[in-house]
Structure 1
């Protein structure tokens, strides 16, 4: 069996090189952008909480690396609303003695 001898340098140079990754990126379609999830929100009756939940919709138009800021803001607003509830006096506990 005879050994294959590669072509001359001139013959090898005539063969086009495979496309470089940069060339492929220029022709590849762009990945789809962010799309809203379309999750319906039900009003809670608390203006503060409803405003915080509406803030989450801002993440729909942002790339993923922008979501954290929106989530942290909404979390902080909801936490503040809950802490405010803890500060309000409520009805006496069942069985509590009134003075």
Structure 2
């Protein structure tokens, strides 16, 4: 057994790499999205995060997709559940 204590090895800390700030580069907006409780709507709202990684000219495609999905979800809420209503005889041109 040796009476010498091994020298403590020091690990060099990695040098910090400075990155240049590019104001034109895509940057997350960090907008909080509160869940609505509706899975379809929440999925559409989460899709907005895709715009965080795109240049500004790519945002419109994401926004239009989200808008279309939200509009479809709202339209579905207006649909009557159950069997369709019977056809109306009002204004069908027949006279009694």
Interval of TM-score (by shorter of Structure 1 and Structure 2): 0.5 to 0.7
Write out the 4+ residue segments of structure 1 that deviate beyond 2 Å after TM superposition: 29-32
2:42 — aligned with what?
50
Specify every segment of 5 or more residues in structure 2 that has no aligned partner in the other structure, as ranges: 1-19, 82-96
Choose from 29, 41, 45 the match for 1:37: 29
Specify every segment of 5 or more residues in structure 1 that has no aligned partner in the other structure, as ranges: 1-28, 90-99
Larger helix percent: 1
Work out which of the two has the higher radius of gyration on C-alpha atoms and give 1 or 2.
1
CA RMSD of aligned residues (A): 1.6
Structure 1 distance, partners of 2:21, 2:50, is: 23
- Partner secondary structure for residue 66 of structure 1: helix
2:70 — aligned with what?
78
Choose from 51, 59, 73 the match for 2:51: 59
TM-score (ref. length: structure 1): 0.57
